[in-house]
Amino acid sequence: MNNFDLKAYLANNPLLTESEDAEKVLASTPDEIEAALAAALKISPDELEKKILSGKDGKEKLDESLTVTVALLLPAILNLVGKAANKIKQQFLPKEEKDKLESMLQQIKDIRKKHDIGTYIDNPFNDTPDQKRAKGLIKKIKNDIEHNYGAKVPWLKWDEEKGFISDKQTLGHLGHKLHHVYTMPIEKFLHLASFVPGSPKFLKDKKTRQKIADVIYAGFMLWLGGTHVRHGLHDILAGHGVDAVKIADTVGNGYKSGLSFAEIAGEVLNAAGVGVEAGAELT
Q: What is the pLDDT along the chain (283 residues), one digit of tens a residue?
A: 455 555 554 444 444 444 344 445 545 567 888 889 889 988 888 888 777 766 544 445 555 545 778 888 999 999 988 877 776 776 677 777 878 888 988 898 899 888 888 655 556 667 788 888 998 999 899 888 888 877 667 667 777 777 776 666 666 566 667 788 889 899 989 988 888 878 888 888 999 999 999 999 999 988 887 777 777 788 889 899 999 899 999 999 998 898 889 999 999 999 998 865 433 433 3
Q: Which one-letter DSSP state was computed for residue 174?
A: H
Burial of 170 (0-12, 13-18, 19+ CB in 10 A): middle
- Report the alpha-carbon distance of residue 271 to residue 213 in Å, rounded: 14
Of the candidates 161, 184, 176, the one whose C-alpha atom is nearest the C-alpha of residue 229 is 176
| pTM metric for this prediction | 0.66
Q: Which strand (E) or helix (H) includes residue 79?
A: helix 70-80
Asked if 41 contacts 48 with a C-beta cutoff of 8 angstroms, the reply is yes
